[in-house]
């Protein structure tokens, strides 16, 4: 099972969904010098591909900023740059201010792994208009994602069945079915994308970013990484400390944890976010329609999930809302406080036997659109995580850890514990227990932790700042809700980040925004 709650900011597209209710062929190899001197051809952007999530071509920004897209060649195998290339899909909008004030390019990664930067940057661009006064805003589909040698596994019909399965097995028969489904998914990935699977590690994406820096003509890499993008940024700083410019890491992955520790941290993080939602709902003078007290809200959710495990309810025809889909949908709604109203509506309707809203939220988490078409978000997420992460867990490992996970979260514990089997039987060996982000010699890097973050718990920010090294990691705390901080539109957070990226003003370590 893919750990679909992992390190993701791209899932925030759920709001738009609710409101509106392949491998690239390898060319003959360039030598490294030719790659770094390649000229990008920027044109009007096409509509996003199905693998990027589909939709329409991005509209110009309100002040007339026009989106441009290009393709960059990168080695399939960085250890053998002459052995063939892949295409890396790029998008940009030029700086809006005076050319004399332009700093360079600001490169974004919005998380995942598996999120398409080509679709995410236009979706969130208005939040970065202040930064655009001095930067070209640039993003990309990392290797394995979207139109950048996107990993392909099962087809849409097979994925529907995959996401309907019971991912918290209670007996031997359910466990066998779960393991067989995971094996079938992994085999499909190997069949359709075997050539690219060994080369989608975060270290290789970081080397692509340094090539992008050179191709864009920038002496330094100015960077804004969110969620998994913080891990990518930390790995880049480790590999290329002297090339780091002004960098911000927001919604921070803990680089010191192995996958089991990370999954347990997420169980605690999503439970904290659910508790915060329940307290907010039950504090309203109008009353909370899904519980009288925070504990009552949780008890009713646990009871709902137990009922769905035995008997799913109608979701989006012909699919039914299963325990797995409901858990996924609840988690999706906790990524942003803006979605809490959808969670209340989804729970109300599920209690009445209607699973549509929770299924829409679950579909958004899985990269499924209203037409039943999946992006490659989940295949890319699994492929990159499994290429990065060395541990391979067994059912016995999960069963041994279940009590600890259940204590951490009665709602999400089982789901995240069994998710530890995502990479079991994966055809490519994982690289390490956790990423190396030590970056001696790099300039200050802002590391922003959100105390209410479900997906990348707050404690990870301090550990990232420490792992980057003394004088490099500068921790900033945001006392808020949801995943990440800058896109919450908190004025303090945005002032701190804008002050650094635009003017080089380094905040005091330990700065707190509320």
End-to-end CA distance of the chain, in Å? 37
Residue 403 gets the label, from left (phi > 0), alpha (psi -120 to 50) or beta, of alpha
Per-residue pLDDT, averaged over 256-272, amounts to 98
Q: What is the dihedral of CA 31, 32, 36, 38, to 10 degrees?
A: 10
70 pLDDT higher than 70:
yes
pLDDT for 82: 85
- The count of other CB atoms within 10 Å of the CB of residue 157 is 9
154 pLDDT higher than 60:
yes
Per-residue pLDDT, averaged over 29-52, amounts to 87
Strand 221-226 to strand 244-250: parallel, antiparallel, or no bridges (unpaired)? parallel
Per-residue pLDDT, averaged over 44-62, amounts to 96
4 pLDDT higher than 70:
no
Distance of CA 329 to the CA centre of its chain: 16
Whether 262 sits among the annotated catalytic residues: the reply is no
Tell the burial category of 287 from Cβ atoms under 10 Å away from its Cβ (0-12, 13-18, 19+). exposed
- 375's CB contacts (< 8 A; 6+ apart) are 50, 51, 52, 53, 54, 116, 146, 367, 368, 369
User: What is the band of 8 on the pLDDT scale with cuts at 50, 70, 90?
Assistant: very low
User: What is the band of 25 on the pLDDT scale with cuts at 50, 70, 90?
Assistant: very low
276 pLDDT higher than 50:
yes
pLDDT for 217: 97
Per-residue pLDDT, averaged over 4-17, amounts to 45
Which residue among the candidates 222, 238, 434, 483 is catalytic per the annotation? 483
User: What is the band of 64 on the pLDDT scale with cuts at 50, 70, 90?
Assistant: confident
User: Edge-to-edge strand order for the sheet containing 221-226?
Assistant: 43-44, 68-75, 85-93, 135-140, 104-109, 221-226, 244-250, 445-452, 473-481, 511-513
Per-residue pLDDT, averaged over 406-412, amounts to 98
Unique residue bearing structure tokens 């659109």: 369
Q: What is the dihedral of CA 405, 409, 412, 418, to 10 degrees?
A: 10
Question: 13 versus 212: which is more confidently predicted?
Answer: 212
User: What is the band of 60 on the pLDDT scale with cuts at 50, 70, 90?
Assistant: very high
What whole-number distance in Å separates Cα of residue 59 and Cα of residue 123? 10
Unique residue bearing structure tokens 């679909």: 4
> Is residue 99 within 8 Å of 239, Cβ to Cβ?
no
Of 472, 420, 474, the C-alpha closest to 447 is 474
Helix (H, G, I), strand (E, B) or coil at 223: strand
pLDDT for 32: 59
User: Token digits for 371?
Assistant: 């037409």
User: What is the band of 63 on the pLDDT scale with cuts at 50, 70, 90?
Assistant: confident
What whole-number distance in Å separates Cα of residue 437 and Cα of residue 202? 11
The answer to pTM > 0.85 is yes
> Is residue 461 within 8 Å of 252, Cβ to Cβ?
yes
> Is residue 272 within 8 Å of 454, Cβ to Cβ?
yes
User: Token digits for 291?
Assistant: 């519980």
The 10s digit of each residue's pLDDT in 296-313 is 999 999 999 999 999 999
Unique residue bearing structure tokens 């208009």: 129
Count of residues making up the chain: 514
342 pLDDT higher than 90:
yes
- The count of other CB atoms within 10 Å of the CB of residue 196 is 26
Whether 453 sits among the annotated catalytic residues: the reply is yes
> Is residue 1 within 8 Å of 421, Cβ to Cβ?
yes
The 10s digit of each residue's pLDDT in 91-116 is 999 999 999 999 999 999 999 999 99
Average pLDDT, the chain: 94
> Is residue 308 within 8 Å of 323, Cβ to Cβ?
yes
Of 158, 180, 186, the C-alpha closest to 368 is 158
User: Token digits for 117?
Assistant: 């930067």
pLDDT for 33: 73
Which residue among the candidates 227, 336, 409, 422 is catalytic per the annotation? 227
Strand 320-321 to strand 313-314: parallel, antiparallel, or no bridges (unpaired)? antiparallel
pLDDT for 5: 58
What whole-number distance in Å separates Cα of residue 309 and Cα of residue 324? 8
């Amino acid at each position: 099972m893919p750990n679909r709650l992992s390190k993701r900011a791209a899932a925030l597209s759920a709001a738009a969904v609710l409101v509106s209710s392949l491998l690239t062929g390898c060319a003959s190899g360039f030598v490294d010098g030719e790659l770094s001197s390649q000229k990008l051809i920027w044109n009007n952007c096409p509509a996003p591909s199905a693998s990027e999530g589909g939709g329409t071509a991005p509209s110009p920004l309100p002040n007339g900023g026009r989106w441009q897209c290009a393709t960059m060649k990168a080695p399939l195998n960085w250890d053998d740059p002459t052995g063939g290339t892949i295409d890396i899909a790029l998008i940009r909008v030029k700086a809006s201010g005076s050319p004399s004030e332009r700093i360079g390019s600001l490169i974004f990664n919005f998380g995942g792994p598996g999120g398409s930067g080509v679709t995410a940057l236009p979706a969130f661009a208005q939040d970065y208009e202040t930064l655009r006064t001095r930067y070209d805003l640039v993003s990309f589909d990392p290797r394995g994602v979207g139109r950048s040698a996107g990993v392909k596994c099962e087809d849409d019909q097979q994925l529907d069945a995959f996401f309907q399965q019971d991912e918290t097995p209670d007996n031997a028969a359910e466990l066998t079915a779960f393991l067989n489904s995971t094996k079938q998914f992994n085999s499909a990935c190997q069949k359709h994308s075997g050539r690219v699977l060994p080369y989608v590690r975060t270290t290789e994406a970081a080397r692509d970013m340094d090539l992008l820096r050179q191709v864009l003509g920038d002496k330094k890499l100015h960077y804004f990484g969110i969620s998994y993008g913080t891990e990518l940024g930390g790995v880049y700083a480790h590999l290329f400390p002297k090339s780091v410019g002004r960098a911000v890491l927001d919604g921070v992955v803990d680089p010191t944890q192995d996958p089991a520790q990370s999954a347990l941290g997420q169980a605690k993080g999503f439970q904290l976010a659910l508790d915060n939602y329940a307290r907010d709902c039950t504090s309203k003078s109008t009353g909370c329609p899904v519980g009288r007290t925070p504990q009552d809200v949780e008890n009713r959710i646990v009871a709902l999930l137990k009922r769905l495990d035995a008997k799913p309810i109608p979701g989006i025809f012909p699919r039914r809302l299963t325990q797995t889909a409901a858990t996924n949908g609840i988690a999706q709604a906790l990524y942003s406080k803006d979605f809490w109203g959808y969670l209340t509506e989804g729970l109300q309707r599920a209690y009445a036997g209607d699973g549509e809203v929770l299924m829409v939220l679950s579909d958004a988490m899985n990269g499924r659109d209203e037409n039943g078409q999946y992006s490659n978000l989940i295949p890319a997420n699994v492929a990159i995580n499994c290429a990065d992460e060395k541990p391979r867990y067994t059912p016995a490992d999960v069963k041994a850890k279940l009590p600890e996970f259940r204590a951490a979260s009665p709602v999400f514990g089982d789901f995240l514990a069994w998710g530890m089997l995502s990479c079991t039987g994966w055809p490519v060996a994982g690289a390490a227990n956790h990423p190396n982000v030590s970056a001696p010699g790099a300039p200050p890097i802002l590391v922003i932790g959100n105390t209410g973050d479900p997906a990348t718990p707050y404690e990870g920010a301090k550990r990232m700042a420490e792992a980057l090294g003394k004088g490099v990691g500068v921790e900033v705390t945001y006392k808020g809700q949801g995943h990440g901080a800058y896109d919450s539109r908190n004025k303090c957070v945005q002032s701190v980040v804008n002050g650094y990226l635009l003017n080089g003003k380094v905040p005091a370590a330990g700065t707190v925004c509320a």
